[in-house]
Each structure stands twice: as structure tokens, then as C-alpha cells.
Amino acid sequence: MDNLPLEILQDIFELSCIGPGPSLGVCLCLGPYTLLPVQHQLLMVSRLWRDVATSTQSLWTTIFASCVNDSGEKKEEKLRFLRLALGRSGTALLDIHVVSCWEAVAEYLIPKAYRWRMLTVGTSDLYADLSSFAGLQGKLPALVAFELDDKAVDPNQRSQVIGWLSDAFSHSHLIREVLCYSELLEVRFPWHQLTSLNVKFIPLPTQAMDDAVRFKGLLESCKSLKRLSINGQPPLALPFRNTTVQELVHPDPLWLWFLTLPALRKLVLRGFSRHIDCFPLCIDFIQRSRCSLTSLQLEIPITRWTSVTISSFQDVLKLVPCLQSLLLEAPTIVDESPPACYPADIPSLCQPLHDPKVLPALVNFDIVLSQGTKQSAEHCMEALRVWLAVVSDVVGARRASMKRFDVNVRAVREETQEHVTRDNVESMVEIGALQARAREVGIKGHLWVTTLRFQPYESLMHVSKYDIEF
């Protein structure tokens, strides 16, 4: 490998240092189980590898520190890794992610605040002491994104924390993305310049009125906001309107009763089907907003199926004639006996999609299937057969616009349970039919199958993946 071009070796090093989360990318990980970060393992191989690793700034500019609260030598060793990373990152901008150890690392990170591009502060149990933010006024010139977990603030320090954060961020002219909980809407962030906002609403009756009024005013006044994510239920039944938001992600469906977003282009509604059928709410929201959606992600309400589920979904399709991307997700069924509607009623639900005049601009069609331990392998396979037939009919509609389809299957199985094997999937008649139809109309596609296998009462999982290309 020493004969590889420098750029190739750097690429290999970066791939070996991917962090624990999908959004972290290349990352120096200082976690509770970290003995030696991958970056430092690379330093020990040869003089060449050491020179390449130390000169590759991207290996040292994203730092994930979690639970660095060990006692004695372990803590000092992790803090040494942190100091070395800050030094080897040179003058490059930093992406910092801290979980449950802000007090331990703050003294090393605060002096580098002028280089922060992203800062995430979270906690899994204890409150974080945020007093170190008090001296950061005017010292965050490069900060673009800030995230603060709802558990990080001690309620007894709430007013002080709001003051510290207001002083620190009020003059952050580059900040564009904020994730916070609803009580922090009182902070004097430069809200008017945000392009992305993620708010977690906490069910505190004493704060409901203040939180709702502040959020309403923020939405109405912020003319740069493009992406909005809302967690938790609406604090009050007030109308909320914004004329610039183009992407609404994972809101509790009840928000659809109160939101009006005429500029919306992408709506993601996933993770709520066990609690509510969101199709009727979608109809009301789209009609009220008069938005022209081009991307829609919906979860099939398998456990909340009613006599109007099919008709309401088909009414949703009529309201989105400009849609280019449609993702449908069939969530995990937690009961041992699957509802009678699934998967038997899925062909009727999706029947309008066989008509090319429905969603005539559709480019991408995606299916996500999640199967839990309560379902047998036979039920998993039957659901997959039904969805593959649906995809085949959508492909066969011959929309001139359509370019691609993807089917993602995620199965969680105990070691003793029968698995969804590649041989079983490839032997399906529906796979052959979809292959032939995709080839006939010139549309590309992919089937991805991920199986997570585990032993009961053990946290370790074995992951197996395979894919079939169409």
C-alpha cells in the first residue's frame, strides 16, 4: 500500500475513520468504549502512514466525544487524544459533537470556539454546565450549526442559560441551522437568518402559551427558513404560517391541523402510523396550504387501517400532480398477528399508481419495509412479494419521467428465527417479473435487504446485507 498515490491513501484513511452516526462522516471518535481512535492506530503502522495521517486535516476536524467522564488514566488518555486532534486540525474549521461530557472537554474546546463550524451538546442523563458559554459573545464567527439537547439544561438554571446563549449567539452572523427545544425559543438567536430549524416541543403546561406565541411569531417573521422539523405535539391550537419553508420533516401529524406552508415542496411523515392515520390530515393540510409538492414520504397506517384509508390515500395522490419522488413505508408490526389488511389490501391502496396519468411527473418510486421479530419469515416474504408486484405495475405504467425505483427491506430477527435469505428472495417469481419489466422500459432499480440478527438478552447484533440490481 505504500506505493499507492497519496490521494488514494488519504481516501482509504478517511473511509476507515467513518464515525458512529450516519451524519458524522469522517470522525475522531472518543466514546465510552474507545481504547484507541482509528486515527492513532494509523499513526502506528509506518513513518509514511504517520506522515500522511497527520497531514490529512479531514481526519482531525470532526470530533465526537461521548461520556469522557472516566476516572484517572482513561480520562486523561482521551483528553490527550482530544488535544492532539485540535492541534493536528491546524486552522481548519471544526465540527464538534459532545454527549454527556461537556464539563470534561469544555476547557479544551472553548479556546477554539472561533473555529467551530458546528457544535452539538447533548446528554443521556445529567445536565450540562453551560456557564462556559457566558464568555463567547462575538467569538463564534464561523459557526453555522448549533444543536442543544432538551435534557442538557438544568431547569433551575434556565434563565441563566438563556442569557448565556443569547450573549454567545446574538452576533453569530453565519449561523444558519439550529436544533433546540421549545423553551429556548426565548434565546436571542439571529432567527431571521436561519435556513433550517428543528424544534422539540416539551409538554410543560406552564410554558405552552409562551412557546406557542414565540414559535408563531418566529415562523411569520423568518423569511429565509427553508427546512423545518418539529418534534412533539402542538402546545396550543393556534394557526402557524410561513411563506418560505420548502421542506417539512417528521412533524407530529397533529401539526398538520394548524400549519400553512404555501411554499412547501417536500413533506416527510414517517414514524407515527401506530398512533394515527395521517392521510386525512395530509388532505386538509395540502388543500389549506395550496402547496405544490414534488417529494412525499408517507408511512402506511397498517395498525390504524379504516374503511376510508384507501380512498383518503388516493385523494392525497390527486392533490400532488407535480410529485417527482414518492416513498411509502410499511413499518414494523409489533403484534404477533398481523392486521388482516396487510399485505392483502396493499394492491388496492396502490392501484391508482398503475395509471400513468396519476403522478405524471414521477421520477423516483421507493418502498421501505421494516419487519420485526413478531413476524415469521413467511409473512416477511409474502409482504415483499406483494410490494414487488406493486413496484412492477408502477414501472409498467411507462411514465416518460420515471427513472428509478428502490426497495429497502430491514428485518430484525432472533438467531433462532428463519431469516430472509438471498436465495429465497432471488427465487421469487416477482423478482424475475420486475427484472424483465425494468429492462423492457429502461428503468433502473435496486433491492436492498438488511438483516439484523441478535440473541435474546444480548445487545450485540450481527448485520448482514445484500442487494439485487435491476
Which amino acid would we find at residue 206? T
Higher pLDDT, 74 or 218: 218
Whether 281 and 390 share a structural domain: no
Q: Same domain, yes or no, for 457 and 331?
A: yes
Q: Give a yes or no: residue 233 inside a domain.
A: yes
What is the C-alpha separation between 469 and 204, in angstroms, rounded?
Answer: 50
All three cell numbers of 102, joined, read 461537556
Residue 47 pLDDT exceeds 70: yes
Q: Which amino acid is at 366?
A: D
Residue in the block written with cell 393540510: 285
3-state SS class at 41: helix
Percent of the chain with pLDDT over 70: 92
Is the pLDDT at 24 greater than 90? The verdict is no
3-class SS at 148? Answer: strand
Q: Range with the lowest mean pLDDT among 60-64, 120-124, 289-293, 445-449?
A: 120-124
Same domain, 447 and 463: yes
Mapped onto helix, strand or coil, the DSSP state of residue 35 is coil
In a domain, 195, yes or no: yes
From the list 57, 56, 37, 54, the residue with the least C-alpha distance to 46 is 54
Paired sense of beta strands 266-269 and 247-249, if any: parallel
358-370 pLDDT, tens digit each:
999 999 999 999 8
DSSP for 61-117, please give it.
Answer: SEEEEE-----THHHHHHHHHHHHHHHHTTT--EEEEEES-HHHHHHHHGGGGGGEE
Counting the structural domains of the chain, the total is 2
DSSP annotation of 294 reads S
- Report pTM: 0.88
Contact 445, 405 (CB under 8 A): yes
Confidence of residue 9 (pLDDT cuts 50, 70, 90): confident
The answer on 398 and 334 residing in a single domain is yes
- Mean pLDDT, range 458-467, rounded to an integer: 75
- Would you say residue 87 lies in a domain? no
The reply to whether 278 and 404 lie within a common domain is no
Q: Give the end of a domain, one of 271, 296, 319.
A: 319
Distance of CA 78 to the CA centre of its chain: 28
Is residue 263 domain-resident? Answer: yes
Q: Say yes or no: 242 and 275 in one domain.
A: yes
pLDDT in the model for residue 456:
67
Contact of 211 with 178, CB cutoff 8 Å = no
In a domain, 2, yes or no: no
Q: Average pLDDT in the 285-306 region?
A: 93
Q: Of 262, 297, 319, which closes a domain?
A: 319
Domain boundary among 280, 296, 319: 319
391 and 314 assigned to the same domain: no
Provide the pLDDT for residue 424: 85
- Regarding beta strands 227-231 and 177-181, do their DSSP bridges make them parallel or antiparallel, or are they unpaired? unpaired
Q: In degrees, to the nearest 5, what angle opens at C-alpha 61 toward C-alphas 30 and 140?
A: 105
Are 254 and 330 contained in the same domain?
A: no
Position 26 confidence tier, pLDDT thresholds 50, 70, 90:
confident
For residues 30-51, average pLDDT: 86
In a domain, 98, yes or no: no
Burial of 336 (0-12, 13-18, 19+ CB in 10 A): exposed
- Inside any domain, residue 174: no
What's the pLDDT score for residue 127? 75
When pLDDT is cut at 50, 70 and 90, the band that residue 420 belongs to is: confident
Question: Same structural domain for residues 308 and 419?
Answer: no
**Are residues 306 and 391 both part of a single domain?**
no
> pLDDT grade, residue 458 (50/70/90)?
low
- Shared-domain flag, residues 235 and 336: no
Whole-number Å distance between alpha carbons of 205 and 385: 48
CA distance 338 to 78: 48
Give yes or no: residues 337 and 465 share one domain. yes
Residue 190 CA to residue 362 CA, distance in Å, equals 38
Is residue 81 included in any domain, yes or no? Answer: no
Taking the C-alpha atoms of residue 242 and residue 435, their distance in angstroms, rounded to an integer, is 44
Split at pLDDT 50, 70, 90, the class of 17 is confident
Q: Give the β-pairing of 444-454 and 461-469.
A: antiparallel
SS3 259: strand
**Mean of pLDDT over the chain:** 88
Q: What is the pLDDT of residue 335?
A: 66
Q: What is the pLDDT of residues 387-414, one digit of tens each?
A: 999 999 999 999 999 999 999 998 887 7
Domain range holding 461?
A: 324-470
- For residue 364, how far is the Cα from the chain centroid? 19
Instruction: Reply yes or no on whether the pLDDT at 254 is more than 80.
Output: yes
Q: Using CA atoms of 210, 226, 361, 267 in order, give the dihedral in degrees to the nearest 10.
A: -30
